[in-house]
Amino acid sequence: MNELRVSGSQKFMGKEIPVVAGGFGKKEKCVSDKTVAEIHGMNVFDVRRRITDNIKRFKENIDYIDLIKRMREMQTLKECAYEASTLELLQSLGYAKQSISQAEHIYILSERGYAKLIKIMDTDLAWEIHDKLMDEYFQMKEEKKRGTLAGEPKRPALSSVNMMVKNITGTLQKAGVDDLYIAAEVKRIYTDAGYPVNAPLITDKETMPKLYDCTEMAKELGIYSTGGKPHSQAVGAIIKNLDVPDSEIVKTAFSRNGHEDVTVQYKPSVLESVKVWMEERDYPTKISYVNSKGRLTTCTVSYQEVS
């Protein structure tokens, strides 16, 4: 039997009700007798009485779980930790310590158990609330297929993800991004959207060559500004002074904090060339280059020991 857990709360008919899952299945929602009483405008003791008086119609661990019975069993077995966790669960569901100690039963109902209780109530209002709870709280058909819970993000439609991938792929191709890294970005998009690509790709981190942007190179080589930050601009200046072949430059997709872009990165050979350039010049503190406007620009750098 799966353990019960509270996975958040949900607005229902103007009330904030706890979202309870587990007990009857890892991702199956269930509902407490206290919540049933609140949404139906009943006394919780009346709800329990209706279940207890008709208990032969309910199947234990399929339609209901009696948490008081469970706690008594734990006391008998001296399972103190398990008993404490059940008590903590009840309190998170809004039960006061006194009401727990005085209760003979506290029921948790599965979707099927709740449906049976409505049949016993058999009033127009009960059925109306039942329909709303089924539609708004218990998992709908499509949600059951996905196994989503309240509080968990729902997956977008696969057709929407496919269209997004198509558009992004076209944009990355126009930007000159290497095909290997387009494949990596496509895999990330599907995975983030909830459609994980389980097949290994040659673009996975374990097999992809290590790439460096200018900031990473600055950290790797100990090139810093006088303010103590990795001097990416200085590294860029050195690269402008090198004859770096196009085969050593890679355009990759860039994603951070919801922002999508393309970034230029370099293969390890470029890192080594930057290192040699500095060594040959005895680690200069002034590095000059011609900027995009054709003006001579100078970077002032300091060097830090690399661990």
Do 69 and 192 lie in one domain? The reply is no
Cα 63 from chain centroid?
31
Query: 302, 227 in Cβ contact below 8 A?
Result: no
Residue that is last in its domain, among 146, 178, 201: 146
Separation CA 252–CA 84 (nearest Å): 52
Q: What are phi and psi of 248, to 5 degrees?
A: -95, 0
Higher-confidence residue of 179 and 254: namely 179
**Residue whose tokens read 């085969």:** 247
Q: Is residue 96 part of a domain?
A: yes
Do 296 and 242 lie in one domain? The reply is yes
Domain extent at residue 106:
5-146
36 pLDDT band, cuts 50/70/90, is: very high
Number of structural domains the chain divides into: 2
Do 20 and 100 lie in one domain? The reply is yes
The per-residue pLDDT for 78 is 65
DSSP-assigned letter for residue 153: P
Do 192 and 142 lie in one domain? The reply is no
Do 78 and 136 lie in one domain? The reply is yes
Do 190 and 238 lie in one domain? The reply is yes
Strands (E), the chain: 5-12, 15-21, 29-32, 64-66, 107-110, 223-224, 249-256, 259-266, 286-290, 296-300, 302-303
81 C-beta neighbours (distance < 10 Å), count? 8
Residue that is last in its domain, among 146, 169, 202: 146
Compute the mean pLDDT over every residue in the chain, rounded to the nearest whole number.
80
Query: Quick one: average pLDDT of 194-206?
Result: 56
Query: 221, 271 in Cβ contact below 8 A?
Result: yes
* Helix 80-92 vs helix 67-77: crossing angle, to nearest 10: 160
Query: 12, 2 in Cβ contact below 8 A?
Result: no
pTM across the whole model: 0.45
pLDDT in tens, 38-69: 989 999 999 999 999 999 999 998 999 999 99
Instruction: Show Cβ contacts of residue 260 under 8 Å, excluding neighbours closer than 6 positions.
Output: 168, 253, 254
pLDDT in tens, 230-244: 998 899 889 888 888
Separation CA 77–CA 235 (nearest Å): 68
